Amino acid sequence: MYIGRIDVRAPIADMKGSILDNKYKRKVQLTGSSTYIVSLPKDWIRRLGIKQGCEVLINIMPDNSLKITPLISREKGEEPPRIKLIQVKNISGDALVIEMISAYLAGYDQIILEYPVELEREIIEEVEKVQAKTVGLEVLEEEPGRLKLYMIVDNTSLSIHESLEKMMSIAVLMIDNALKFLKEGEKVLLQSIVRKDDTVDKLFLLIMRQLNQVLSGRIGLDKTGLKTYPEISYLVIVAKSIERIADHAVLLSKYITKIDPSREVYHDIYELLDLAKQAYMLSIRGFRLHDTRLALKALNKISEAEQRLNDFMETLPPSDGLNAIYPVLESINRIIAYSRDIVEATYNLATYRELIGYVDRKEKA
């Protein structure tokens, strides 16, 4: 069988072309009596501008592979900024916002917008939308028909671990505010939920940008709190789950104001939301500590919350006066479901580390 010009029956080592462009086979050489040498790919050397005498950092990974990172300093001007040019002919929906955020996530240092002068007001509005969702993206150069945004925050000023911790804590506060509103009825508590959600969104996008930087070699894996690159997928699942939990805290805050506090179901909703909060807190604690025993406790709490929610929904009468309750219950249900996703990510991470033979120092002790 043939695909294009590649014989799929041929041994991989014999293949040439783009499929193996990023893979190189080398023989280990012995110099003297104890020094082992492996040559580095010439294309890689040229692409990074490495010269004789330059230093590289070699990390031994938990799976016994090696990671080689050139010690090239951006401060010395050896690595040029990554610039994204976006030429705008018209404003169509959220297309420009999506393209700018994509550039931000990809890791560009600068974004240049070129556009017809008559679109300037609309362009500025779109830029402000992007700035409201991102950290450190500022307009520092402006002229008619052209804007230049710079990423002015260092990628490592707030570590991925710190950003994730803040997301976890803020989401708890958002659910707390909804619970307090159900008890005290202060609408200012609900306004705070929306503001906190904006912060969670910013942190989530910052984490995604930083993870892309890790995968491209611009940030060290040690900044993530993870041990190997495959573990990044579990961190993404957890970060996205927390971001969605925060979204549902906002959604339920919009509907609980429409429920009559004198109804008997009002107290039931409070208890269900509090149970969902307990499940979420146990799930994030298990992930924080990479502890499957805590994850099991979270799983039991999640199962309890799911059962209580299902039992409650079966008792609800089909009444127009209860329409506002269903979106609230659905958001509670989603908070519980995303907590389950966090628990599963904790188990998956622990199982993967067991596979590669990684043992945490705490476990050794």
Residues in the chain: 365
Q: 50-64, 184-198, 334-348: lowest mean pLDDT where?
A: 50-64
- Map out the domains of the chain as residue ranges: 21-70, 83-151, 160-364
d(CA 214, CA 223): 9
Helix axes 95-106, 188-215, angle to 10 degrees: 50
The per-residue pLDDT for range 254-306, each reduced to its tens digit, is 998 888 777 778 889 999 999 999 999 999 999 999 999 999 999 999 999 99
Which comes out higher in pLDDT, residue 355 or 170? Answer: 170
d(CA 187, CA 15): 66
Task: Give all strands (DSSP E) within the chain, no chain letters.
Answer: 2-3, 6-7, 29-31, 35-37, 56-60, 66-70, 83-87, 110-114, 137-143, 146-151
Which comes out higher in pLDDT, residue 138 or 158? Answer: 138
Q: What is the mean pLDDT of residues 213-237?
A: 83
Residue 169 tokens, joined: 């804590």
**Are residues 279 and 205 in contact, defined by beta-carbon separation less than 8 angstroms?**
no
In the chain, how many H helices and how many E strands?
Answer: 10, 10
* Total-model pTM: 0.80
Fold of the domain built from segment(s) 83-151: Translation Initiation Factor IF3 (3.30.110)
With cut-offs at 50, 70 and 90, classify the pLDDT of residue 246: very high
Find, among 155, 340, 101, the residue nearest to 238 by Cα: 340
Residue 249 tokens, joined: 């805290």
Pairing of strands 83-87, 110-114: parallel
Residue 133 has pLDDT above 60, yes or no: yes
User: With b meaning 16 or more CB within 10 Å and e meaning fewer, what string describes 79-99?
Assistant: eeeeebeeebeeeeeeebbeb
- Give the dihedral of Cα atoms 335, 333, 257, 320; nearest 10 deg: 170
> For the chain, what is the radius of gyration of the CA atoms?
26
Fold of the domain built from segment(s) 160-364: Methane Monooxygenase Hydroxylase; Chain G, domain 1 (1.20.58)
Fold of the domain built from segment(s) 21-70: Pemi-like Protein 1; Chain: D (2.10.260)
**Centroid of chain to Cα 274:** 26
d(CA 77, CA 79): 6
**Centroid of chain to Cα 328:** 26
Residue 166 has pLDDT above 70, yes or no: yes
d(CA 113, CA 145): 8
Residue 205: Cβ-neighbour burial (10 angstroms; 0-12, 13-18, 19+): buried
With cut-offs at 50, 70 and 90, classify the pLDDT of residue 358: low
Find, among 247, 162, 237, 250, the residue nearest to 206 by Cα: 162
- Residue whose pair of structure tokens reads 């080592």 in the numeric block: 13
What element of type H or E holds 205?
A: helix 188-215
Residue 112 tokens, joined: 């240049």
